Chains A and B, each alone.
Chain A
Amino acid sequence: MSAKHAVLTGEHFMNGDVAAAEGGLAAGCTFFGGYPITPATEVAERMSERLPEVDGIYIQMEDEIASMCAILGAAWGGAKSMTSTSGPGFSLMMENLGLGFMTETPCVLVNVQRGGPSTGLPTLVGQQDIMQARWGSHGDYEVIALAPNSPQECFDLTIEAFNLSEQYRMPVLVMTDEVIGHMTEKVVIPPPEQIRLTPRRYTRRPPAEYVPFATGQDLVPEMIKFGEGYRVHITGLTHDERGYPVINATEQAKLVRRLVDKVRRNAERILRVEEDGTDGAEVVIVCYGITSRVAQMALELARRKRKRVGLMRLVTVWPFPEARIRELARQVRGFVVPEINLGQIVYEVERCAAGQARTLLVPHAGGDVHPPEAILRAIEEVLS
């Protein structure tokens, strides 16, 4: 594969979906299993055109379940793999996303969120899958979910998602939305040498010494590629270090705790937030994705009115910046949480604020972004 072809260095005018696809290619993705769904289809379309140019494989699977499975299979075949979907497709992928967490398979899932539930608003925006991203598959696990707010970030964060998935050996979610996905903006793609990539953490041990799920301090096991003589057994059942199914409470505790701890213990390293004027602020807007761009305007309106308002944008929605919210809760009068749903991340903020600061949701049922005035009103309400 030629890196030159994979990375379209230069300045481009492209939408968020296309930028996410280019981000995947720049990160070395060579396998995309997808299924068309508005508003994520452009990711698949771009991949179907571009992957053959880098000797990669695009396959349009029979449904989203198959797409998710195929990228897991491709990952064990040695490829960096990704898929993209939206709303109903995201729901269909949930079971096998769980298989990805359980089998510690690196891959990337781009969810271009639309309004739900069910078929909902295929062509209009929503941010209603944020809790599904966290809790959608059954059982206990931790996720990493990134929320870009521009086509440029769709590119950057898809690369970051690949790096995190290799670093922690797990599926990583890019939770974009319809507006970002269909918004066309300038995207700058750097030269390949300026793109930092995390290689797959392949073992150097010979097959006889390799224990598939044995880990060191960082709780992440070393990986292998199928066909190299390691003869591993990978299962979605609770398994021991050898990968063999063991159905008892002891092994369950050992495995699930490790899967959760590998993210929790590294949360501070994974976390990314952007803050604007949060020091000394009386109100902090907590937002993510497209809503952060509306919130930016509300912030300016409020500042014009000489309100001391700050903004915190969650670049990683999961893990959630609990410690930082707790810290801010002691300093501010309240948090304003605009999101295009009827309350999801607001509960996380409320939990971390723990009664020390007021938390006000600015809800939106979906289909459009908030008017900045709605956020401004919430700020004023907190200050009144």
Chain B
Amino acid sequence: MSPSRTDSATRNASPTAPPAAERTALRHPKDLLLREDRLPHIWCPTCGIGTCVASFIEAIAETGIPEEKFAVISGIGCTGRVAGYVKLDSFHTTHGRAIPYATGLHLAHPEMKVVVFSGDGDLVAIGGNHLIHAARRNLDITIICVNNFIYGMTGGQLAPTTPHTARTTTSPKGNWEYPFNVPHLVASCGATYVARWTSLHVRRMRQAMREAILKRGFSLVEIIAPCSTLYARKNRLGTGYDLMKFYHDNCEVRHGADTKELDIEFQQKIAVGKFVDVEKPTFLDRIGAGRKK
């Protein structure tokens, strides 16, 4: 479609209407679920985390579940700050420990929809053990893992997801480690819903988040997001917008792909899509069954 940019509506716009930017006392529709007294947030310009939060708020609305039944648990790091901005019951825990905290909350109060919103370093490095065990147990919780390939809050250090050869402040000559393939990691541990999108794919991301929240079982949505201040700068990749453009040009939607094939190489094609969506009794289902014995 190539819509004309001088269509009727343009012509119809009133010359007396105030310019959009000058309208005052505005209340963003998402402010209903944001702690607006804490905005603007601490994330850098072009950081993808804010976009993920925006999609998350839309996903919550789409699930139709009452907002007070949601809890957002974060660890430490840039994404760890999400808990502090959403106007839901939220807990900002210690580094890497969002998942065990969520485990306790979920089991003590199963009516809550417990969502862990944290970064790749927090969930996969220091919290890696908790991640695999939560997937193994098939706890009915949702993990939103914002993966920017780097430790942002501490100034751009090597993460377990940093692609091979990418530079960080602690891999100044390029990373020689093998990074984690997050979807494969959790899928192999028994996750019942696994998807990956980028912060460019706002609608797919929202849909994936909604499906993950509604999924009965352990669900994980990995979102590749730009870190312009550190990852893009250290690797001379331009701005956050350049990274968004890169996602636009290099993401391949491969629904149902074998998770083994989802490795991310430095500035290569990124496979996105919904990879796992299966049904399996949850931890609490099995506790119930176990007790009847």
Which residues does A use to contact B, with CB under 8 Å? Answer: 30-31, 33, 52, 57, 59, 61-63, 65-67, 69-79, 81, 95-96, 99, 103, 225-237, 244-245
| Complex contact A226–B71 (CB within 8 A) | yes
Interfacial chain B residues near A75, Cβ < 8 Å: 104, 108
> Contact: B97 with A227, CB < 8 Å?
no
The 22 sampled A-B contact pairs (Cβ below 8 Å) are A31-B108, A59-B107, A62-B129, A69-B94, A73-B102, A73-B104, A74-B107, A78-B109, A79-B108, A79-B109, A81-B104, A95-B94, A96-B93, A96-B94, A226-B71, A227-B89, A231-B68, A231-B90, A233-B91, A234-B92, A236-B92, A236-B94
A235 touches B83 (CB 8 A): yes
Residues A81 and B108 in contact, CB atoms below 8 Å apart = yes
Instruction: Choose one: A67, A69, A227, A236; the contact of B111 (CB below 8 Å).
Output: A227
* Docked complex: B255-293 residues within 8 A CB-CB of A: 287, 290-291
Compute how far the CA of A244 lies from the CA of B100 in the bound complex, rounded to whole angstroms: 22
A147 to B64: give the CA distance in the assembly, Å. Answer: 50
Q: What is the CA–CA distance of A70 and B94 in the complex, to the nearest angstrom?
A: 12
* B130 sits at the interface (CB 8 A): yes
CA distance A30 to B107 in the complex (A): 10
A75 to chain B, nearest CB (A): 8
Across the interface, which residues of A come within 8 angstroms of B38, CB to CB?
244
Q: Are the CB atoms of B94 and A61 closer together than 8 Å?
A: no
For A61, give its contact among B69, B100, B105, B106 (CB under 8 Å). B100
Given contacts A73-B102, A76-B89, list 8 more A-B pairs with CB under 8 A: A33-B100, A67-B100, A69-B100, A72-B93, A75-B108, A227-B68, A228-B68, A245-B84
B130 touches A66 (CB 8 A): yes
A96-B94, A226-B71 known; A232-B89 Cβ under 8 A: yes
Are A57 and B287 interface neighbours, CB within 8 A? yes
Distance A59 CA – B139 CA, assembled complex (angstroms): 11
Question: Smallest CB–CB gap between A241 and chain B, Å?
Answer: 13
Given contacts A66-B130, A74-B104, are A227 and B109 in contact (CB under 8 A)?
yes
Interface size on B, residues (CB 8 A): 38
Query: B88 near A: Cβ within 8 Å?
Result: yes
Give Cα A31 to B73, complex, Å.
19
CA distance A204 to B147 in the complex (A): 41
Which residues of B are found within 8 Å of A226, using beta-carbon distances?
71, 89, 105, 109, 112
Q: How far is the CB of A186 from chain B (nearest CB, A)?
A: 31
Q: A77 to B112, alpha carbons, bound, how many Å?
A: 9
Contact (Cβ within 8 A) A62 B93: no
In the bound complex, residues from chain A placing their C-beta under 8 Å from that of B88 are 231
The minimal Cβ–Cβ distance linking B57 to chain A, given in whole angstroms, is 13
Interface status of B204 (Cβ within 8 A of chain A): no
Q: Does the CB pair A233–B71 fall under 8 Å?
A: no
Q: How far is the CA of A43 from the CA of B44 in the complex (A)?
A: 48
Q: In this assembly, does B193 line the interface, its C-beta being within 8 Å of a C-beta of chain A?
A: no
Partner of A235, one of B91, B97, B290: B91
The residue on A at minimum CB distance from B108 is A77
Question: B171 contacts the other chain (Cβ, under 8 Å)?
Answer: no
A226 to B115, CA, bound (A): 13
What chain A residues lie within 8 Å of B71 (beta carbons)?
226-227
